């Protein structure tokens, strides 16, 4: 956990006990726990939104690919339309 070993953690807790006192330390720990739980809940919601957006993009990509495949199957002999990257025919 963050590269902190047991001796360092005990030292931090001991200092907190001395500085804050035995009455304030449980209140602080409770508030810290609630804050961490809220942060975890918010990050989980954000992850779920990203996963949902990813699924929607994959579905729309699959639908577009399927439509394109059907269009090619229906009209295989049609010449391809010139694209914007094709050079323009030279005029003489």
Residue 61 lies in a domain: yes
Position 29 scores a pLDDT of 87
Asked if 12 and 21 count as a contact pair (C-beta separation under 8 A), the reply is: no
> With 80 as the cut, is the pLDDT of residue 88 above it?
no
Q: 41 lies in which domain range?
A: 31-68
> With 60 as the cut, is the pLDDT of residue 46 above it?
yes
Residue 76 lies in a domain: no
Who has greater pLDDT, 90 or 6? 6
What mean pLDDT comes out for the span 56-77? Answer: 80
Position 85 scores a pLDDT of 62
Who has greater pLDDT, 64 or 32? 32
Burial 21-39 (b: 16+ CB within 10 A, else e): eeeeeeeeeeeeeeeeeee
> With 80 as the cut, is the pLDDT of residue 73 above it?
no
Who has greater pLDDT, 65 or 80? 65
Position 76 scores a pLDDT of 62
Q: Considering its fold, how many domains does the chain have in total?
A: 1
> With 60 as the cut, is the pLDDT of residue 78 above it?
no
Residue 91 lies in a domain: no
Residue 62 lies in a domain: yes
Residue 45 lies in a domain: yes
């Amino acid at each position: 956990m963050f590269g902190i070993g047991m001796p360092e953690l005990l030292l931090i807790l001991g200092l907190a006990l001395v500085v804050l006192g035995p009455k304030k330390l449980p209140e602080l720990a409770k508030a810290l726990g609630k804050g961490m739980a809220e942060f975890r809940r918010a990050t989980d919601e954000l992850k779920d939104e990203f996963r949902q957006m990813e699924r929607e993009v994959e579905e729309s990509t699959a639908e577009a690919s399927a439509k394109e495949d059907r269009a090619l199957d229906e009209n295989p002999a049609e010449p391809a339309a010139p694209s914007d990257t094709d050079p323009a025919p030279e005029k003489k």
